[in-house]
Amino acid sequence: MSRRRQLYEGKAKVLFEGPEPGTLVQYFKDDATAFNNQKRGVITGKGVLNNRISEYLMTRLNEIGVPTHFLRRLNMREQLVKEVEIIPLEVVVRNVAAGSLSTRLGIQEGTALPRSIVEFYYKNDQLGDPMVTEEHITCFGWASPPEIDEIMSLALRVNDFLSGLFLGVGIRLVDFKLEFGRYWEGEEMRIILADEISPDSCRLWDLATNDKMDKDRFRRDLGNVAEAYQEVARRLGILPEGGPRDMKGPAIMQ
C-alpha cells in the first residue's frame, strides 16, 4: 500500500490526500473530546460506527438532491470524499431546546421549539467556536450573503429530511451541527455538505423514553456511549456485518 500524505488531523478525524486529484480520504478515529478539548476520551468502535452512519445519512441526502462531499466508503474507518474549501462555520439546527441553547437562554431541556432555529458558530478552537451572526459572517468575509442563503436553505432541507428519517426509527432529532464547503466543477462553484453527520454531531433522543443516544452520553458521563451509537446504527439497519466484534476495525494505515 502506498504511503498517503496526511493533510489535517482534527479531534475525531484525520484527512489524507486522496487517490485522485480533488479527493480526500476521511479517517474516523475513536477519540472523543468535549467542551473544546477540555474533556478527552476514547470510545472504542466509535470511528467505525460514525463512518458507517455518516455514509448512510449522506447517501440518503444525495438521493434527495442535497449535494454532499461523500463519494464512497473505502473500509471500516475510511471514506473517500470530494476536496472542498471548508467554510469556517458550524451550522447548528435545533428542533428541541437542549445543550447551549438551554444554558444560555434558560429554556428547559426538552422544550419543543415553535420553529426550527439555525445558528452559526465561527469554527475556531482557540476562541472556543463563538456564536456569530450573519453580520459577522459577511463583515469578515467567511461567506457571502447568497452563500449564507444557500447554507440556510440546505440546512433546513437536511433538517426536514433527517427529522423524518429518524422519526421512522423511533428517534427524535433534537439538534445537529453541519459544515459546508465550496466545491468547484470547472468554473462553477457549489456549496456542498461536508464533514460528517453522526451521533458525535447530533442530539438523538429515543422517542419513547427520551434516552440520549449521542455524544451527550460522553459529555455528561452517562455511560454506554458505544452501545448508544450502535443502537442508532442498528435502528437505521446498518450495523456492520459481523456485529460488535467487527467494531474495532483495522489499525490506521499510512
Residues 195-224 that bind ligand TMP (CB under 6 A): 201-203
In the three-class reduction of DSSP (H, G, I as helix; E, B as strand; rest coil), residue 131 is classed as: strand
Letters for 59-98 (x = contact with ligand TMP by CB under 6 A, - = none) are: ---------------------------------x-----x
Q: Is 129 in the site for ligand TMP (CB under 6 A)?
A: yes
For residue 24, the minimal CB distance to ligand TMP (Å) is 20
Contacts of 149 (CB under 8 A, 6+ apart): none
Closest to ligand TMP by CB, 14 vs 155, is 155
For residue 246, the minimal CB distance to ligand TMP (Å) is 26
User: Binder to ligand TMP among 62, 100, 116, 138 (CB under 6 A)?
Assistant: 100
Letters for 134-173 (x = contact with ligand TMP by CB under 6 A, - = none) are: ----------------------------------------
Contacts of 165 (CB under 8 A, 6+ apart): 57, 60
The answer to whether the CB of 240 falls within 8 A of the CB of 48 is: yes
Of 60, 59, 75, the C-alpha closest to 16 is: 75
User: Binder to ligand TMP among 16, 27, 176, 183 (CB under 6 A)?
Assistant: 176
Of 202, 158, 254, 184, the C-alpha closest to 49 is: 202
Closest to ligand TMP by CB, 172 vs 203, is 203
Distance CA(195)–CA(84), nearest Å, equals 10
Of 44, 46, 2, 42, the C-alpha closest to 27 is: 46
For residue 88, the minimal CB distance to ligand TMP (Å) is 13
Find the residue with minimal CB distance to ligand TMP: 99
Of 78, 61, 81, 86, the C-alpha closest to 70 is: 81
User: Residue 47: phi, psi to the nearest 5?
Assistant: -60, -40
State the residues that interact with ligand TMP by CB under 6 A: 92, 98-101, 129, 175-177, 201-203
